[in-house]
Amino acid sequence: MILDFPDLAQSPRRVVSLVPSMTESLFELGFGSSVIGVTDYCNSPAEKTSGLPRVGGPKNVDLGCVLSLSPDLIIANQEENSRAIVESMIASGLPVWVTFPKTVRESLDDLWTLARAFRSKSAALQLRLLEDSLKLTELGMAETPTKRYFCPIWQDIEPDGTMWWMTFNRETYSNDLLRILGGENVFSDRTRRYPLAANLGFAAAEETGERDVRYPIVTAADIQAAGPEIILLPSEPYDFQPADLQRMMALFPDAPAVKDRHIHRLDGSLVTWHGTHLGQSLSTLPQFFS
């Protein structure tokens, strides 16, 4: 449910952001003074968001609270916010922009949309510098051999002891970012099946319909067969701990990533946050692939 930027008569002055990474981007681009409401998960930059009104979580936004703030722009995301709340806000006459970047380029395009909406030359300069940084990173990684990686974003264990991990495929921002940095996703072509048991071989798959298939579920056997050279364990959305790293090493002793000690815990926002956070990703993530 992507919605284009609304037609505004003037630059936004009362913005409610329902997307943590876009909240951060608003402040980093110099538009923080216009932000009047955020979600419970919008905590960056901490010193500037701590005192802002909260409108609930990304999935359970309090419509009444949003209405009381009288925003002239609401920034939402197809993946992070529920369709029901977005439709409710639209029905209430609120100006909503629904983003859904699945590539680094699309994320940059969203930032350019903000810069134009705020008519900001300084933000435009920041974005040109960010794009230059991206180009330099791409040039630097061009001489580096591609590395096959596995990056789970969730894990769980079934009552019978079957363990599974959720990851992402090629239709995601995370995949595109790590591709640019020299990574080859070992599950880039895998799609999510429904119900969960279908991914574990315990049930037949249903028609997916409109359900999101970009986050496949994989088993230990799948990971063993894929033989990743690098395993990345992010801190979000699932907060992988040292014990999880040790479990991976015990489960997959023959995987190149384990044999060569290329299994790492890292800040998950570097992999999943689009927006200006890209700058931090470009300065930090290449070390895992070089």
Model confidence over 14-57: pLDDT tens digits?
999 999 999 999 999 999 999 999 999 999 999 999 999 999 99
Contacts for 83-87: CB closer than 8 Å, 24+ residues apart: 83/1, 85/60, 85/61, 86/1, 86/3
Residue 7: the pLDDT is: 84
CATH number reported for the structural domain that contains residue 75 in this entry:
3.40.50.1980
Determine, yes or no, domain membership for 112.
no
Are residues 151 and 284 both part of a single domain?
yes
At 28, list the tokens.
Answer: 């980093």
DSSP E strands in 175-287: the ranges are 183-185, 217-219, 230-234, 263-266
Number of independent structural domains in the chain: 2
Determine, yes or no, domain membership for 272.
yes
Are residues 151 and 273 both part of a single domain?
yes
For 46, 186, 202, 205, 262, the CA distances from 151, given in Å and listed in that order, are 27, 9, 24, 24, 12
Domain ranges, residue 45:
1-100
Are residues 160 and 72 both part of a single domain?
no
Q: Which residue in the block uniquely carries the two structure tokens 């909240």?
A: 23
Residue 1: the pLDDT is: 60
Q: Please, are residues 3 and 96 in contact by the beta-carbon 8 Å criterion?
A: yes
Residue 73: the pLDDT is: 98
Low-confidence ranges of the chain (pLDDT < 50): none
Determine, yes or no, domain membership for 135.
no
Q: Please, are residues 219 and 200 in contact by the beta-carbon 8 Å criterion?
A: yes
Question: Against a cut of 0.75, is the pTM above it?
Answer: yes
Are residues 283 and 159 both part of a single domain?
yes
Tell me which of 76, 100, 124 is where a domain ends: 100
Determine, yes or no, domain membership for 114.
no
